[in-house]
A and B are shown apart, each in its own frame.
Chain A
Amino acid sequence: MQEILSELNREAGVVGSMVVTPDGMVVAAELGPSLDEDTVAALAAYMLGGVKNAMAMTGEQTATQFEVTSDFGRMVFLDVGPAYLVVVTHQNVNVDQTMIAIRSAAYKITHRRA
């Protein structure tokens, strides 16, 4: 899994990636020097819980994917079974191109597990 994340991080604009369970347990992480593993894991779990609860209000049982763009960065979450692939990117990345790489990584993670 570490290899998959390292490969993903070589994509232009990707700052770091990790696989984390909804309760914040880190399965694997490859984060750049600007990101602290514990902080990202805790905040990813916080975001996951919050977004899932909010979407449940509309009757939606799960959040399969979400992307959040802020003033200076972007975070992408992708459901990979019991955990989520979390990717932090620069704010100006080519979204479509990066999404292909992120989906490909998510596919590999899901199928390796299976």
Chain B
Amino acid sequence: MQCYMDLGMFEEAENVGRQARKLYPLSATVKETMRRLKRIKYDQQIRQLRERIRRNPNPTSYAMLAELYRDIGETEKTLELCREAMHNFPTHEGVYLIVGAIRYERYLKNRHPKDGVAAVENFEKALKLNNSNYKVLRCLGQLYLELGMPRKAMEKLRSALSYMPNEPQLMEMVKQAREMPPESDDDVEEHFKALYERYKQQAESQVVLRFGLDELNAIFARLPDLEGAYLLVAMTKDGRRLASRQFAQGIDENVALRCMKAIFDVTNDACLRMDIGPFVRGIFTGKTVRIHMFRFDDMLVGLFVYAKVHKRTAEQFLNDLIEEEFYAYRESG
């Protein structure tokens, strides 16, 4: 990717980046390089649109700029821009569609009710302004169906059918909606909450791990020593030990497991309630101990180090573990 970028071959770099992102979704290097590439690619367009908004603000320029930021992966910036556009041009559907799509993507990723409700609200607003958007009608129909709200689903699916009368998947959804008992109430948020509880229970019983315990212990065993580190430990999100590597005495493994679980529970819950998505990574520094933690699929990995160890050294150690061991293992496996 970097070579193509250096040569100015941005299309080729982007193709490689897309492949890399599919293979290594947690790689910080891939993510950052891709973001840099898109920043370079869109730099001129962003400047032009910013200037256009400054001189002659209009909803189309806002929507185009928001789409660019969304593509770069700067979700918060996109949402900020959309909020500004909604305030200035409340009757333009474009930005509601963008916000709806962002929240829908988030919803598909973490199934959190807040994202689902926001997706529905924004899509509904967009439809109120323009009732002929097939994609939104279909998406809402599917969402309502998933929520167990066939009456609302039918409304949207029927409208969608009028644009694509012979679409087989659409017809199948209509059939499903007909066969379902009608919903007792229209409270979308409650339906999302109930669905979330079901997903949570299902997720708890199906822990996704890429490695067997032996493989994981072997990976940990062959890691280089890290000066100032006490312990590296991997566990499931519900606190079951998977593997560990003791570098030096100082932190008991069982204590470390309990500590990591407590940190994960509280931070993950708070992040979800703050509406910034689930926990991905964290660094927790005390006077004598620092804990570096990250989530990899359904696994949590924690590195306990002496607080004076350079933060970047410990973070690099974990980045190498992800990119050179976890992903490399998946490739060979």
> How many chain B residues touch A (Cβ–Cβ < 8 Å)?
45
Q: How far is the CB of A95 from chain B (nearest CB, A)?
A: 9
Determine the residue in chain A with the shortest Cβ distance to B267: A68
Tell me if B251 and A71 are in contact (CB < 8 A): no
Interface 1/0s, chain A 84-99, versus B by CB < 8 A? 0000101110000000
Q: For the complex, give the distance between the alpha carbons of A60 and B106 in Å.
A: 36
List A residues 1-55 near B (Cβ within 8 Å): 15, 32-34, 39-40, 43-44, 46-47, 49-51, 53-55
User: Which A residues lie within 8 Å of B15 (CB)?
Assistant: none
Q: For the complex, give the distance between the alpha carbons of A32 and B79 in Å.
A: 12
A81 within 8 A of B: no
Tell me if B283 and A67 are in contact (CB < 8 A): yes
Tell me if B259 and A54 are in contact (CB < 8 A): yes
User: Which B residues lie within 8 Å of A88 (CB)?
Assistant: 274, 276
Determine the residue in chain B with the shortest Cβ distance to A54: B262
Q: How far is the CB of A69 from chain B (nearest CB, A)?
A: 4
B258 within 8 A of A: yes
* Neighbour of A64 across the interface among B259, B281, B285, CB < 8 A: B285
Q: Given A55-B259, A72-B106, do A62 and B277 touch, yes or no (CB 8 Å)?
A: no
Q: For the complex, give the distance between the alpha carbons of A74 and B276 in Å.
A: 8
Tell me if B283 and A66 are in contact (CB < 8 A): yes
Tell me if A47 and B73 are in contact (CB < 8 A): no
Tell me if A90 and B270 are in contact (CB < 8 A): no
A63 within 8 A of B: yes
Contacts between chains A and B (CB distance < 8 A), count:
131
Q: How far is the CB of A113 from chain B (nearest CB, A)?
A: 20
Tell me if B259 and A62 are in contact (CB < 8 A): no
Q: How far is the CB of B28 from chain A (nearest CB, A)?
A: 10
Q: Given A43-B273, A46-B270, do A69 and B281 touch, yes or no (CB 8 Å)?
A: yes
User: Which A residues lie within 8 Å of B110 (CB)?
Assistant: 71
Tell me if B106 and A46 are in contact (CB < 8 A): no
Q: For the complex, give the distance between the alpha carbons of A44 and B266 in Å.
A: 10
B289 within 8 A of A: yes
Q: List 8 A-B contacts (CB under 8 A).
A: A33-B83, A47-B267, A54-B258, A58-B304, A65-B283, A66-B283, A70-B280, A73-B271
Residues of A within 8 A of B (CB): 15, 32-34, 39-40, 43-44, 46-47, 49-51, 53-55, 57-75, 88, 90-92
With A70-B274, A70-B277, A70-B280 already in contact, 14 other A-B pairs whose C-beta atoms are closer than 8 Å = A39-B273, A44-B270, A46-B269, A47-B270, A60-B287, A60-B289, A62-B286, A64-B287, A65-B283, A66-B283, A67-B283, A68-B271, A75-B271, A90-B74
